[in-house]
Amino acid sequence: PQPGLAEKAIGLHETGELAVMCDTFNPLKLSKLALELDDGKYALSWYEPHEPTEAGLTSHL
């Protein structure tokens, strides 16, 4: 999710967005051009690290 979009969606009944999913049987490979344009940091660009509070700590033991 992009920052602020969840809050912006409160009360909306619909959006004008389109989601596309591509199921493949084999891995996709990037072209040379795509590799040059790839931003390896994009996947975590929204992430803001924080220290967990006691209420946020869980144990799976």
Residue 55 to residue 26: CA distance in whole angstroms? 42
The per-residue pLDDT for range 19-46, each reduced to its tens digit, is 888 899 999 898 999 999 988 888 888 8
Residue 42 near residue 2, CB atoms below 8 Å: no
Please determine, for residue 51, whether its predicted confidence score (pLDDT) is greater than 80.
no
Q: What is the dihedral of CA 47, 53, 56, 61, to 10 degrees?
A: 110
Q: Could you tell me if 30 and 38 are in contact, meaning their C-beta atoms sit under 8 angstroms apart? A: yes
- CA–CA separation, 36 vs 54, rounded Å? 43
Is the pTM for the entire model greater than 0.75? no
pLDDT of 8-21, one tens digit each?
889 988 888 888 88
